[in-house]
Amino acid sequence: MTDEELFPPPTHWLDSGEMAAWRPLIAVAMRLPAALDTQLRAGASMTHFEFMVLGALSEADGRSIGLSALARRVSASPSRLSHVLRRLAERGWLTRVAGGRSARAVLTDAGFEALASAARGHVDEVRRLVFDALSPADIDALARIMPAIAQRLEPGAEPGSEPGAAPGGEIGCETDC
């Protein structure tokens, strides 16, 4: 056994200030997706994840993006994304295009219309649940804080890596790269 196995470093417990931040953060992380999903299912007959996929496609050049890049953009496993793409294609909201070793998803006009129709209710709910409760200074703090946390959740992220930098040093890779 190594010294570290015999004498592990003591646990660095959360102090009261960290606990006061942690508990509401985890509550939001657990409840917000469900609340957004409920609103979108009722108002637009789509899930929050489907909305995110359609939104990512609408923001891509030519409303088309490689499946690997799309999976990264919406934080999805290839399996989960494949199932959602199949459902969205069945509705006529996107098409899948194979091109050699890679495949792309392309947002159709019907998909863009479905997204646009859902967007107003979705943004109203986001505003109601999140931003209406915050001051402009709170929003600035949230915009500064959340990327640092999100970066550490990226696959392959190194502890202490710069917020906004993708693994491999690329920033904002929009295509299959």
What are 100's two structure tokens? Answer: 């050699």
H or E, element range at 142 = helix 136-153
- In Å, how far from its chain's centre is CA 59? 14
- Helices and strands (H, E) in the chain, number of each type: 7, 3
The Cα–Cα gap between 172 and 131 comes to 25
Is residue 66 within 8 Å of residue 176, measured between CB atoms?
yes
Degrees (nearest 5) of the Cα angle 168, 75, 103?
Answer: 80
The pLDDT tens digits for 19-65 are 999 999 999 999 999 999 999 999 999 999 999 999 999 999 999 99
pLDDT given at position 165: 42
The pLDDT tens digits for 91-131 are 999 999 987 778 999 999 999 999 999 999 999 999 999 99
pLDDT given at position 100: 75
> Closest Cα partner for 103 from 82, 75, 77, 76?
82
The Cα–Cα gap between 64 and 57 comes to 6
Is residue 54 within 8 Å of residue 114, measured between CB atoms?
yes
The Cα–Cα gap between 65 and 106 comes to 7
Rounded to two decimals, what is the model's pTM? 0.79
The Cα–Cα gap between 74 and 51 comes to 10
